[in-house]
């Protein structure tokens, strides 16, 4: 920072903030911690002095002396600190679940508009999900009661990789089926060249890619490129992978390593949720948005009702 004026710095706190959310901490607690730290750091800088007021004093000659003094009603000890939590607006672009750690995008002040646009564009997110073979739990997470046990000696890297390839192919095929086109047709090719195929609603989870990253039995880690996913869906996916492998499994960790063009390398760790790092992070993310305007204004294909579009085209032809 090149200035110690807290007011000038406060006016620059507008944009997207990329922070690393720890597991077991809610998004609301993360936002409260960041805003609280920013307020503390701003109040340590040069803050606005109390407003001035005129003081009239009558003299013995029936005249008045006029003095300009600081207004006691505007003193910090009366009104509180100059920068308070209520002065900030903070909204998540895409929220993460309680058990999920990793990249969390937050819109600060006027950056909440960009956060809303990013949320509406539904960027593809990349996860590293770790599962444990041999045990099944009620909620498919490690902190739940164990309901089943099974052996996993027959599970190999080849079997897991083959199963994940099948899951990825089925999801890709489902995307084109919802579009009403054959995956082997030219229409499907033209649709794919338009960009990432997105469902028309945010209720349908879609997996664009899933690969095995590490296998150290009983633990295994997969990398998932997904859209419209929730942490419960990812945990259920690990459970279903275990069943397809003729065993059982539950999820032990979910880590988001990328959200669109924002990666975990540029995320602020918990110890860096302070004003200097926040200012630098907002500036870096602003440059990313300028270099990739599709983050805010995305042009891509979406799964639409092809029957209604065909009827519209036919009506236009008949009218012409």
CA separation (Å) from 237 to 68, 148, 211, 255, 257?
70, 17, 13, 15, 18
Tell me how crowded residue 168 is: count the other CB atoms within 10 A of its CB: 17
What is the Cα–Cα distance from 114 to 15, expressed in whole angstroms? 7
DSSP 12: T
**H/E stretch holding 26:** none
What is the Cα–Cα distance from 242 to 134, expressed in whole angstroms? 8
Q: What are the pLDDT digits (tens) for 34-61?
A: 999 999 999 888 777 777 777 777 777 7
Q: Are 152 and 133 in contact (CB under 8 A)?
A: yes
Q: Which residue has the tokens 């409260």?
A: 32
Per-residue pLDDT for 179 more than 60? yes
Ranges of each domain in the chain: 1-47+83-123+261-298, 48-81, 124-259
Per-residue pLDDT for 5 more than 70? yes
What is the Cα–Cα distance from 41 to 275, expressed in whole angstroms? 6
pLDDT, mean of residues 9-14: 90
Mean pLDDT over each residue of the chain, to the nearest integer: 85
Kindly give the residue spans of alpha helices, DSSP state H, lying in 138-268: 157-179, 186-193, 231-244
Nearest to 247 by CA among 221, 287, 217: 217
Q: What are the pLDDT digits (tens) for 65-92?
A: 777 777 766 666 665 677 888 889 999 9
Q: What are the pLDDT digits (tens) for 97-142?
A: 999 999 999 999 999 999 999 998 888 999 999 999 999 999 999 9
CA separation (Å) from 268 to 77, 201, 276, 288?
33, 31, 11, 16
Tell me how crowded residue 133 is: count the other CB atoms within 10 A of its CB: 24
The predicted structure's pLDDT at residue 73: 65
Q: Span 124-259: which CATH code?
A: 3.30.2350.10
Q: Are 197 and 207 in contact (CB under 8 A)?
A: no
């Amino acid at each position: 920072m090149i200035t110690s004026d807290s007011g000038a710095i406060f006016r620059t706190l507008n944009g997207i903030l990329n922070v690393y959310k720890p597991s077991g901490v809610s998004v609301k607690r993360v936002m409260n911690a960041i805003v609280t730290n920013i307020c503390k750091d701003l109040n340590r800088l040069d803050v606005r002095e109390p407003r001035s007021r005129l003081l009239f004093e009558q003299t013995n000659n029936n005249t008045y002396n006029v003095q300009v003094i600081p207004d006691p009603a505007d003193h910090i000890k009366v009104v509180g600190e100059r920068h308070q939590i209520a002065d900030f607006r903070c909204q998540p672009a895409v929220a993460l679940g309680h058990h999920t750690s990793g990249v969390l995008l937050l819109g600060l002040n006027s950056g909440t508009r960009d956060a809303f646009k990013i949320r509406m564009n539904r960027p593809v997110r990349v996860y590293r999900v770790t599962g444990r073979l041999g045990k099944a739990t009620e909620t498919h997470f490690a902190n739940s009661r164990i309901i089943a046990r099974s052996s996993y000696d027959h599970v190999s890297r080849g079997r897991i990789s083959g199963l994940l390839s099948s899951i990825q192919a089925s999801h890709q095929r489902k995307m084109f089926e919802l579009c009403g086109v054959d995956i082997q047709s030219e229409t499907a090719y033209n649709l794919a060249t338009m960009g990432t195929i997105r469902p028309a609603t945010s209720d349908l989870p879609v997996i664009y890619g899933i690969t095995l990253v590490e296998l150290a039995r009983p633990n295994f880690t997969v990398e998932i490129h997904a859209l419209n996913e929730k942490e419960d869906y990812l945990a259920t996916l690990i459970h279903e992978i275990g069943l397809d492998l003729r065993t059982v499994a539950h999820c032990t960790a979910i880590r988001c390593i990328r959200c669109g063009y924002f990666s975990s390398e540029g995320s602020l760790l918990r110890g860096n949720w302070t004003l200097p790092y926040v200012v630098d992070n907002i500036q870096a993310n602003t440059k990313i948005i300028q270099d990739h305007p599709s983050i805010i204004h995305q042009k891509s294909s979406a799964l639409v009702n092809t029957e209604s579009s065909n009827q519209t085209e036919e009506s236009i032809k008949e009218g012409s």
